[in-house]
């Protein structure tokens, strides 16, 4: 899959942080999984976890030899989004900049469509 067809952006900052976090683990197959669940103050919320499994239908995006994985159900809410890692007043964290969200909560961890 070439870059023009990838429906999700995985920034260098996020990839570098994932690489740093998994270096201490004894599992080179770990990837950052981004998913959507119901809940949060806006209706949906983003979740992040490390996973060494790729399931049928999952989208995998590689950057700097590390991977980001999204399941098909979550991907429908994340098309065109950017997964980034930021250092800010609220601390350091992974964030999603989602053009599909009609509103987000103050902390950015939940959204509505």
Amino acid 84: pLDDT: 94
Q: Give the whole-angstrom CA distance, residue 67 versus residue 52.
A: 10
Q: Give the whole-angstrom CA distance, residue 18 versus residue 50.
A: 9
CA-to-CA dists, residue 38 to 7, 26, 99, angstroms: 22, 32, 18
Question: Within its chain, how far is the Cα of 90 from the centroid?
Answer: 18
Residue 112 pLDDT > 50: no
Q: pLDDT tens digits for 32-85?
A: 999 998 876 657 888 999 999 999 999 999 999 999 999 999 999 899 999 999
Q: Residue 98: which CATH number?
A: 2.60.300.12
What pTM does this model have? 0.80
Domain of residue 96, residue span:
3-112
- Overall domain count for the chain: 1
Find out whether 69 and 59 touch, Cβ atoms under 8 Å: yes
Amino acid 3: pLDDT: 47
User: Is position 41 annotated in a ligand binding site?
Assistant: yes
């Amino acid at each position: 899959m070439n870059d023009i067809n990838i429906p999700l952006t995985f920034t260098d900052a996020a990839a570098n942080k994932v690489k740093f976090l998994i270096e201490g683990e004894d599992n080179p197959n770990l990837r950052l999984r981004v998913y959507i669940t119901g809940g949060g103050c806006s209706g949906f919320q983003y979740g992040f976890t490390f996973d060494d499994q790729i399931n049928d239908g999952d989208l995998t995006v590689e950057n700097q030899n590390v991977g980001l994985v999204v399941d098909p159900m979550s991907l429908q809410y994340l098309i065109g989004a950017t997964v980034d890692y930021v250092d800010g007043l609220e601390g350091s964290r992974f964030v999603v900049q989602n053009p599909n969200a009609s509103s987000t909560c103050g902390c950015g961890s939940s959204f509505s469509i």
